[in-house]
Structure 1
Amino acid sequence: MIKVAIMGHGTVGSGVYEVFEMNAEKIARVVGEPVEVKYVLDLRDFSALPYGNKFVTDFSVIENDPEVTVVAEVMGGVGAAYTFTKRCLEAGKSVCTSNKELVATRGEELLQIAEAHGVNYMFEASVGGGIPIIRPMLQCLAANEFDEICGILNGTTNYILTQMIHNDVTFADALKQAQLNGYAEKDPTADIEGHDACRKICILSDLALGDKFDPDEVSCEGITKITLEDVANADKLGCVIKLLGRMVRNEDGTAYAYVAPHLIHKDSPLASVEDVFNAIMVKGNATGDVMFYGKGAGKLATASAVAADMMDCVEHAERRRRIMWGDGSKHLLRPMDTLQSAWYARFKGPREELEKGLPVESLSEPAANVFVVRTHKLATAEMQKRIAKLNECGEVRAAIRIL
């Protein structure tokens, strides 16, 4: 019998235990023998649960038990989660996680430690929850160079924008709805400011290009400035607004990576992705566009991905998965200054100054002296320069990329 442990008993951790109990026969059939969760690490008192006897508060119990060969880290954060993960790997135990922050910031180090000790560090659930994306990139699409990755990577922000688009709900009210429905945390900063999506696009970029993309260096813009006026204007342009994480590879091997709101045409496959659903489009130089779609979070969806990684570790105990990327020394991240985009802008001021200041593709008739303009492509730095100039004679109230 295979013995495993779970570190953390929150939403995902309790889900991992439930998956192993619920699908015990299927899991045993796939890996060749039964799998038992021997320990669950948590400081809180869960003694009233049917499996309350499995709980421990001392990490070293798991670390020092030679029977435990695979551990799920579903604690979150980069404090204890990092320390315990590192010590598990050094003790010869494979670790599987849904912890996107830890993978994005310390993944290369933990993968190196796993390699040195002949074990696995796996993280399918860190991007897209239950949506398979990491394994397809490593296996099914392994023969491709990845030219672009673009996706709706955060369910909370997608839910908020969906409410704004379809129900004419303000950002503030849509956020409250998301919190009431359990889609947003009490402190929603990581979601609405784009940090969650940023960690995910960094992980995907790491895998795609083989070197670290540091979330602290990647341009990240959330949705807090999006208004119902912008939503209505996007509709008139045949578009919807979505928060996208994006990586675009250049011919010299460098890449743009960033998170920002975009106007996307309604005929794009991403435009119809609504509520808490996520979608990730991967463009390979051989396959072209491939899209992965589903719920990006949720207890059992995410837990199933963690459990599947743990099963993979059991099956490949004698031959570890080859997953690795560098420490960032290749400096593949290209500054955003030169990224070319078409832009949507909302400007209050003289028409002649607007037409002189921006390369206009289309321009609306003004409402209350506010113009809506769609531009031809401009580099980011050039757009910022022109916005600053326009603000001398009026006010640029919004500027959003068009994909």
Structure 2
Amino acid sequence: MTGRPAWAGRNYLLLTGATVLSGLGGSGALIAAAFAVLGAGGSATDVGLVAAARTVPLILFLLVGGALADRLPRHRVMVAANALSCVSQGLFALLVLAGEPRLWQMALLAALGGTGQAFFTPAAEGMVFASVSGEHSGRAFAVFRMGMNSANIGGAALGGALVTAVGPGWVLAVDAASFALAGALRAFLDVSGVPERAPGGGMLHDLRDGWREVAARPWLWGVVVQFAVVNAMVAAAEAVYGPVVAEEQLGGAGPWGLALAAFGAGTVGGALLMTRLTPRRLLLTGVLCVFPLALPSAALAVPLPTAGLTAIMFGTGIAVEVFAVTWMTALHQEIPEEKFSRVSSYDALGSLALVPVATSLAGPVQDLVGRTAALWGCSALIALLTAAVLCVPDVRRLTRRTTTGTVPPPTVPTPPTTQTPPMSPTHQTSQTPQEARTSRPSRP
């Protein structure tokens, strides 16, 4: 087939296509859910509570999802999770379209969607890199994220426009359909070449084993702790304060959707950049690119007009995508493939742990100190935690490897350098911003 790289095989195309579909629906649905709450007479606190309701089950079930994904065929876990998300978003759409949705009903359906995401995320992390050869894995991941982020551009812009034109209910219905189509594509993945996994020692044994992998790497748990705070601040600013600022001072859902679309455009530019750049100091490069995440909160605190906010969101998207690619490259370089889903579930759990707290408290904090002070506080905490994690030696030292070999699971923390054991071919072919979203390189 002409017009595509030789390394982009059937599984890679199916995974990318499914992600584009779900990204188109999901980006608009994030806007629709917030404005559905506001349209039902809810306050900023209510918007935060619904956002927290989605995140709490995500946190509760992430570790279980990671352990299952290392035991069961990952594509089946992904399809089942997509089906659950389709049902939750479909019911949410019906509830809004029927009129007068209650807060507890929206929170319950958001929680159901969060449960689906908890099982999907760890399984998805192990799939993309497994669909391409090791020498092409970095470029393949960057191209994959270009497709995902391009979908976020269209989804956010279209979602904001549709919320204004036809209401949030129809946008949620489109999201439900996108989950159904994405799950159907993932059901056709060819996993005949995937070796059978040896039975483990039980769920608790697998979870303990995953924790040892995390605890043995200071660079890993250091960045996870950093993002526990960073993601919480981003979530409070963009899931709660952002829609309220847009509603009161920027003109409503349309301008906010445009700003989110600009972030998506920036991530496409960042992914394109990372198809050409191969920074040697992976985490040093990536963590330095987290500092710009403090800027959108500051822009909302001023608040800047739509043009200024959109420009900042675009630049932030570029920086976040550089972090995303370097972070995932580091993980797939250092973590054994057969334990990857467990480790990624701890990564996601730590990164999301404070999000429901932040979104739940965003409204009360705003009432206590004012929205402007709360947003400046978000910016300050992001900058402080990012500076702190640069003090971890392993973050500054971890280096991209160019040779292949084996990666033994570490038993003691060892600063990664160019002399660290090279990775095995199996490890090289394994791989999701979140958000993300959540996933963490993406938006929460």
Tell me if TM exceeds 0.5: no
Structure number with the bigger relative contact order (C-alpha 8 A, sep ≥ 6) is 2
Higher normalized strand content (fraction of residues): 1
Structure holding more helix per residue: 2
Output the TM-score relative to the length of structure 2. Answer: 0.26
When normalised by structure 1's length, the TM-score is: 0.28
